[in-house]
Structure 1
């Protein structure tokens, strides 16, 4: 499976001592968007200081106007509040969805925890309807665990 092949590559990115955290995060975004066919937009959002909002971090894909997302708004904002993975097989069926592009059909958001606190998330949009499986969730949890190691 593609995810097993990607894990060592994610580990290698995380361990690069000459790269900044943002450079490593961008490299992870590029890797995932490039190697997983149904990942069409890959980015990180992080808690914006003491505010109840998320701020866009490194990402690859179409530019987005959603640089700041209030907690509770959209899929990312809901994950900031719930602390749970959120898999959306059909974004058009979600009442509280913030549309980034008309081509997006599905979304998956996985929180990043540092010392038990939800400090951010990885957000992935797909132009393919209902593409995300439990394997996507487990792999992205792995990615978030590795990212948490360099954020703390």
Structure 2
């Protein structure tokens, strides 16, 4: 596939439904995990313009920063800490409308206002998380969860 995306306008569903097949095509035939994570976050950032989009990989007892798009980020996060560490510990998606109200929130950037974290679960274990931050409050909902989960499911770990 060409490295150019078709950026969709319209409602959120239309944008995701246009983007997901393009991400699938980008990943098809590419075995390198880092390349696939990088293209996935770039496509999401380009389509939605979110403040920060990236992956953290589980390495031992920490999440370690992996490919991302946005300002510099926290490099390591302990299990159970912040939104990402909590999503890992609970093995479930967390949608946070106001990060300042999340107990133990780790402020990698004071500009982040809302967040969604999708755990990547393989063989019953969390191997990574997809972290998306917005610079506006209440940016994410169950529709984002549904479509971001579909994107995470495309990735081979």
Distance 1:85 1:117 in 2: 14
Pick 1 or 2: higher relative contact order, CA cutoff 8 A, min separation 6: 1
2:36 alignment counterpart: 24
Offset of residue 32 of structure 1? 0.3
Q: How many residues align?
A: 144
TM-score norm. by structure 2 comes to 0.87
Offset of residue 16 of structure 1? 3.9
TM-score norm. by structure 1 comes to 0.90
1:129 alignment counterpart: 137
> SS of the residue aligned with 1:99?
coil
1:96 alignment counterpart: 104
Within 5 A, what are the aligned runs for 1:1-150? 1-17=14-30, 20-37=32-49, 39-48=50-59, 51-64=60-73, 66-147=74-155, 150=156
Offset of residue 103 of structure 1? 1.0
Unaligned 5+ segments in structure 2 are 1-13
2:10 alignment counterpart: none
Distance 1:16 1:67 in 2: 29
Unaligned 5+ segments in structure 1 are none
2:6 alignment counterpart: none
Distance 1:9 1:60 in 2: 18
